[in-house]
Copies of this chain bind each other. A is one copy, B any other.
Amino acid sequence: MPRAGLTAAAVTEAAAALVDEVGFDQLGMGLVAERLGVKTPSLYKHVTGQTDLAHRIAILAMNQCADAIRDATQGRAGTEALARGAQAMRTFVKAHPGRYAAANAARPTGPDDPLIDALNRVVDSWAAMLHGYRIDPDQQIHALRMLRTVLHGFASLEVAGGFQFATDIDDSFTWMIDFIDHGLQETTATPTTSALSPAGPHRA
């Protein structure tokens, strides 16, 4: 009987494809093994267990997501980079809902977890997109967190089927990104006082 010739990476790929189809919460060693034409215990020669496998899917997902964003924003800046980066992110998540869910569920195991590097690659891409906006350095961190919040929030809600009417969702997304874009431009252009805090964040 010939061998399957598996490897940790191959198992991870198969599992990632699986969760994209059946949902992350349906991940099981049995299903992965079946898909690879192998018996369940064989998987343990390549991954230490289901937890490890989920963690590997998360790393794969974040790196692929980072690649997609990088490719989409290469050589662009400001508004255009934001629009393309955001679209790339959303497209990736819609195409790979299961591995995105895995990425959200994963927790770094330590300070040198490759998952952290992968996450940082994504965040760095967004930080780069913001450079085109000449934002006050003090506000960079807040703008970056808002970007993460918005992109993660939208992807997360959409994947979870959180939006009632499937129609118009594309419109809502571009509307939202446009809203952010306008606001970011005003952040530097128009000193304003805030109604929420005495000296609002929109000051230049």
> Which residues of A are in contact with B by a Cβ distance under 8 Å?
25, 79-80, 83, 104-105, 107, 139, 141-142, 145-146, 148-154, 156-157, 160-163, 165, 168-169, 171-172, 174-183, 186-187, 192, 194-197, 200-202
Give 17 pairs: A residue, B residue, CB < 8 Å, sorted on A. A107-B161, A141-B172, A142-B176, A146-B179, A148-B153, A149-B153, A150-B150, A152-B156, A153-B156, A156-B156, A174-B196, A174-B201, A175-B201, A178-B194, A178-B196, A179-B201, A182-B192
Q: Assembly of this chain: how many copies?
A: 2
A149-B142 contact given A183-B183, A196-B174, A201-B178, CB 8 Å threshold: no
A142 CA to B149 CA, complexed, in Å: 16
Q: List, in ascending order, chain B residues with CB within 8 A of A79's CB.
A: 195-196
The answer to whether B153 touches A178, judged by C-beta atoms less than 8 angstroms apart, is no
By beta carbon, the residue of chain B nearest A197 is B174
Choice from B149, B157, B181, B195 contacting A157 with Cβ under 8 Å? B149
Q: List, in ascending order, chain B residues with CB within 8 A of A148's CB.
A: 153, 157, 162
The answer to whether A202 touches B186, judged by C-beta atoms less than 8 angstroms apart, is no
Choice from B146, B172, B192 contacting A176 with Cβ under 8 Å? B146
Distance to closest chain B CB from A113 (angstroms): 13
The answer to whether B105 touches A25, judged by C-beta atoms less than 8 angstroms apart, is yes
Q: List, in ascending order, chain B residues with CB within 8 A of A200's CB.
A: 178
Q: List, in ascending order, chain B residues with CB within 8 A of A165's CB.
A: 141
A176 CA to B141 CA, complexed, in Å: 11
The answer to whether B104 touches A176, judged by C-beta atoms less than 8 angstroms apart, is no
Distance to closest chain B CB from A81 (angstroms): 11
A169 CA to B146 CA, complexed, in Å: 11
Q: List, in ascending order, chain B residues with CB within 8 A of A107's CB.
A: 161
